[in-house]
């Protein structure tokens, strides 16, 4: 235990000493983050390359074990290859990050480079060879499948920590909680090689966090976030190779809960929005919290608590055979969904609306669509204006509109228009049929609404032109309050089915009125 404590202190002390030295070095030689990227929160240039101090601290701490001779170091000497594989590959990832910090690298270069390093890590023995599936047991993977899964996991987790590095101290603190989870798990399992690397990483992160927490005086940079993400992913692979079902599957995912959730949400919302998945934006979880007016410090502390909650839930999977862990996963899942729902993501709101449309509103939408179809059938037999407007009113009675107004005219023939109203007989008064400026006017209003003022700012309207191939017969305006519930029918039914049916009925009614005019004149003469 003294060796473990000394290892942590050496790493923490080394990081605490090297970080300010590295900061001054960066300031002297202009190695600053002065990007004008709008996603940046800081308005002034800041030193970066924090990953260099973290890596050197880890390397110094692990190298100090050479001076110690006890049971722990004897065990580690037999497992030197796995330790070196993590450190060598970690150094390569650090160099990739340094290049990105100094010269800039696009997503393709970074992914290809990380893929090559992961391939080397796989060749050196860091690989996922099997999966423990509930109710099935241990499943041995084909080498190609195992390589693909290793590549996906390591590269994915590496970039996940890079994505959450947007607030002072967030990526560093989250990685510290994750490394402590891996440390605790490896100690319980007796996995010495994972324990010492995780312990050195924890010490280096703790020493660096002093300078990286808000207000930060140095950034992790891509060199630090990629390095930390890779080492945690690599340790989780090595730690799960001989672990039990729950430990092998649940603990790595929960240990990296915050970056995994943030990355998953980022990919999902960009896919739903039709935006490039690898194009950056300001809609990560920490950005959404900042948009609510939270300070960087508050955001970091709250997300530390989230990381700690994920870590504590991961510990429940160690050496347990009870049914509590699945229940914890369910509770965590529900909590994540509720939390994301309160972050005001447009994609989440649209998913809610889509679910409502397809589940709770499905029956109402089907009823309203059928009502339009039946109205079209009635319109096909309409010979009078009152029959036409009865069919229109049947659609309006669905409750989707508050007011409607129509204006019809037979190509400007006033006498034909008047005859059409006369044919409607006594129903013209009950249907508000009037002749105004030689045109047929009709309006409808839902009860118990008060008098609708069409110039009010809280109404929107759909205007359906009523026309045939030869001329315009008028129009139908449908009015709706802006505060009303979403429409519960397919609007295309109005344009593709309802509007043509109204136009055909109006044309037929005016033709019938025009043919009836000679008979009416003869009856008047007698």
Mean pLDDT score, 383-406: 87
Q: What is the pLDDT of residues 419-452, one digit of tens each?
A: 988 888 766 666 678 888 889 999 898 876 556 6
Say which residue, 244 or 312, is predicted with more confidence. 312
What is the percentage of the chain residues whose pLDDT exceeds 90? 44
Would you say 261 and 91 are in contact if contact means Cβ atoms under 8 Å apart? no
Mean pLDDT in residue range 377-394: 91
337 vs 406, higher pLDDT: 406
396 and 264 co-located in one domain:
no
| Within a domain: 401 | yes
pLDDT band at residue 75 using 50, 70 and 90 as cut-offs = confident
Q: Is the pLDDT of residue 248 over 70?
A: no
Query: Is the residue at 41 inside a domain?
Result: yes
**Are both 378 and 350 inside the same structural domain?**
no
* Cα end-to-end span (Å), the chain: 121
Higher-confidence residue of 178 and 45: namely 178
> Average of pLDDT values for 300-316?
90
Residues 294 and 442 reside in one and the same domain: no
Judgement on whether residues 300 and 434 belong to the same structural domain of the protein: no
In a domain, 93, yes or no: yes
Helix (H) / strand (E) element for 162: namely helix 143-163
Q: Which residues pair with 132 in a beta bridge?
A: 138
Q: Give the pLDDT score at 524.
A: 46
Residue 365, number of CB atoms within 10 A of its CB: 15
State which of 354, 381, 396 marks the end of a domain: 354
Q: Report pLDDT digits (tens) over 141-200.
A: 888 998 999 999 999 999 999 999 989 999 999 999 999 999 998 888 888 999 999 999
Mean of the pLDDT values across residues 131-137?
60
Residue 216 lies in a domain: yes
Same domain, residue pair 430 and 330: no
- 456-460 average pLDDT score: 79
Radius of gyration over every alpha carbon of the chain, rounded to an integer in angstroms: 35
Three-state SS across 357-417? HHCCCHHHHHHHHHHHHHHHHHHCCCCCHHHHHHHHHHHHCCCCCCEEEEEECCCCCHHHH
Provide the pLDDT confidence category of residue 44 given band limits of 50, 70 and 90: confident
- What pLDDT score does 368 carry? 84
- 120 in any annotated domain: yes
For residues 76-94, average pLDDT: 94
Residue 387 sits in the same domain as residue 507: yes
In terms of Cβ atoms closer than 10 Å to its own Cβ (0-12, 13-18, 19+), residue 437 is exposed
CATH number for the domain harbouring residue 435: 3.30.450
Q: Which domain holds residue 481?
A: 365-525
Average pLDDT over residues 341-365: 75
Which pLDDT score, from 0 to 100, does residue 518 have? 66
Mean pLDDT over residues 453-471, rounded? 80
Average pLDDT over the chain reads 85
Phi, psi torsion values for 131, nearest 5 degrees: -125, 145
Residues near 173 by beta carbon (within 8 Å), at least 6 away in sequence: 209, 213, 300, 303, 304, 307
Cα distances (Å, whole numbers) of residue 185 to 38, 176, 240: 40, 14, 10
* Whether 227 and 103 share a structural domain: yes
Overall number of domains in the chain: 2
In a domain, 360, yes or no: no
Boundary of a domain, candidates 298, 328, 354:
354
Does any domain span residue 493? yes
For the ranges 107-121, 309-323, 464-478, the lowest mean pLDDT is seen at 309-323
192, 323: one domain: yes
- Is the pLDDT at 22 greater than 60? The verdict is yes
Last residue of a domain, one of 306, 333, 354: 354
| pLDDT at residue 501, as a whole number | 93
Q: Are residues 326 and 451 in the same domain?
A: no
- The residue with greater pLDDT, 314 or 124, is 124
Q: How confident is the model at residue 241 (pLDDT cuts 50, 70, 90)?
A: low
Query: Average pLDDT for residues 256-274, to the nearest whole number?
Result: 89
The strand order across the sheet containing 459-467 reads 434-436, 439-445, 403-408, 472-481, 459-467
- More confident: 251 or 61: 61
pLDDT at residue 208, as a whole number: 97
Query: What is the pTM for the complete model shown?
Result: 0.74
What is the β-pairing status of strands 459-467 and 46-47?
unpaired
Question: Looking at residues 384-395, what average pLDDT do you find?
Answer: 90
User: 336 and 384: one domain?
Assistant: no
Alpha-carbon distance values, 320 to 272, 310, 323, 328 (Å): 39, 17, 9, 13
448 with 346, same domain? no
Q: Given this model, what pLDDT does residue 226 score?
A: 96
Does residue 359 belong to any structural domain of this protein? no
Is residue 324 predicted with pLDDT exceeding 80? no
pLDDT of residue 399: 66
445 shares a domain with 306 = no
Rounded Cα distance between 93 and 229, Å, is: 10
């Amino acid at each position: 235990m003294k060796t473990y404590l000394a290892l942590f202190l050496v790493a923490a002390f080394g990081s605490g000493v090297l970080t300010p030295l590295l900061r001054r070095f960066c300031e002297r030689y202009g190695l600053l983050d002065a990007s004008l990227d709008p996603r940046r929160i800081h308005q002034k240039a800041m030193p970066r390359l924090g990953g260099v101090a973290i890596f050197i601290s880890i390397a110094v701490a692990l190298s100090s074990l050479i001076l110690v001779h006890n049971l722990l170091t004897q065990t580690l000497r037999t497992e030197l290859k796995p330790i070196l594989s993590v450190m060598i590959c970690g150094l390569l990832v650090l160099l990739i990050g340094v290049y990105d910090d100094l010269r800039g690298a696009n997503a393709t270069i970074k992914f290809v480079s990380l893929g090559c390093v992961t391939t080397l890590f796989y060749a050196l023995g860091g690989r996922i060879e099997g999966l423990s599936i509930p109710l099935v047991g241990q499943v041995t993977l084909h080498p190609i499948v195992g390589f693909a899964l290793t590549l996906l996991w390591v590269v994915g987790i590496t970039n996940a920590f890079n994505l959450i590095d947007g607030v002072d101290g967030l990526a560093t603190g989250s990685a510290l909680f994750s490394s402590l989870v891996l440390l605790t798990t490896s100690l319980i399992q007796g996995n010495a090689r994972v324990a010492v690397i995780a312990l050195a990483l924890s010490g280096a992160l703790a020493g660096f966090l002093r300078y990286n927490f808000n207000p930060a005086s140095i950034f992790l940079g891509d060199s630090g976030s990629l390095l930390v993400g890779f080492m945690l992913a690599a340790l989780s692979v090595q730690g799960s190779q001989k672990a039990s079902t729950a430990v092998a599957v649940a603990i790595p995912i929960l240990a990296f809960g915050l970056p995994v959730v943030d990355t998953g949400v980022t990919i999902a919302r960009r896919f739903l929005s039709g935006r490039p998945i690898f194009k950056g934006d300001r809609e990560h979880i920490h950005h959404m919290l900042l948009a609510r007016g939270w300070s960087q410090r508050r955001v970091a502390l709250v997300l530390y608590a989230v990381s700690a909650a994920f870590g504590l839930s991961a510990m429940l999977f160690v050496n347990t055979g009870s049914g509590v862990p699945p229940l914890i996963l369910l509770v965590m899942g529900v909590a994540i969904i509720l939390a994301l729902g309160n972050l005001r993501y447009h994609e989440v709101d649209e998913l809610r609306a889509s679910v409502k449309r397809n589940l709770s509103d499905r029956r109402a939408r089907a009823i309203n669509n059928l009502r339009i179809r039946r109205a079209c059938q009635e319109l096909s037999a309409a010979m009078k204006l009152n029959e036409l407007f009865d069919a229109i009113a049947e659609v309006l009675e669905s409750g989707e509109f508050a007011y409607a107004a129509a204006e019809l005219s037979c190509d400007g023939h006033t006498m034909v228009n008047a005859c059409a109203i006369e044919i409607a007989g006594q129903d013209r008064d009950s249907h508000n049929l009037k002749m105004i400026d030689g045109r047929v006017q009709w309006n409808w209003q839902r009860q118990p609404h008060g008098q609708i003022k069409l110039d009010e700012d809280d109404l929107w309207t759909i205007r359906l032109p009523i026309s045939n191939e030869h001329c315009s017969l008028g129009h139908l305006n449908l009015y709706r309050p802006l505060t009303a519930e979403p429409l519960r029918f397919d609007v295309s039914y109005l344009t593709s089915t309802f509007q043509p049916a109204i136009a055909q009925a109006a044309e037929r009614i005016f033709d019938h009125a025009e043919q009836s005019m000679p008979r009416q004149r003869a009856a008047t003469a007698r």
